[in-house]
Amino acid sequence: MIPELTSADRLYMSLSQINRYEKKYTKLRYNNRYYLQYYDYEVSLQNWSLKVDDQAFLFAEGYLGNGNAWETSGIVDVVAKENYYRCTTESGTVYRLYFDDKQ
């Protein structure tokens, strides 16, 4: 999740600190590729579903932590963990697909 600045946070920051923070997190909020890169290509998908396309490739759809809709590239490896699936895609990105809502 992307942290939000509270009024109290802003009170103790300089204007330049606030501007740097806003620039960084605005980019995370709106640019999905930057979001993936920022988290070293290992992120969670919320409200996800698995899909199979007409060529039998498995992929996932859902929402990234920044709230934007996202569709993965083809999934090449799935490992079941205690409360999530760890999926690796053709592009090398790792997605955690939690099957309970306690992330």
Average pLDDT over residues 7-13: 85
- pTM score of the predicted model: 0.76
Sheet holding 75-80, edge to edge: 69-71, 58-63, 42-52, 94-98, 84-89, 75-80
Q: Of 21, 36, 91, which is closest to residue 68 (Cα–Cα)?
A: 36
Average pLDDT over residues 11-34: 83
Greater pLDDT, 4 or 94: 94
State the pLDDT confidence band at 72, using cuts at 50, 70 and 90.
Answer: very high
| pLDDT at residue 102 in the model | 55
State the pLDDT confidence band at 6, using cuts at 50, 70 and 90.
Answer: confident
- Alpha carbons 57 and 75: distance in angstroms, whole number: 7
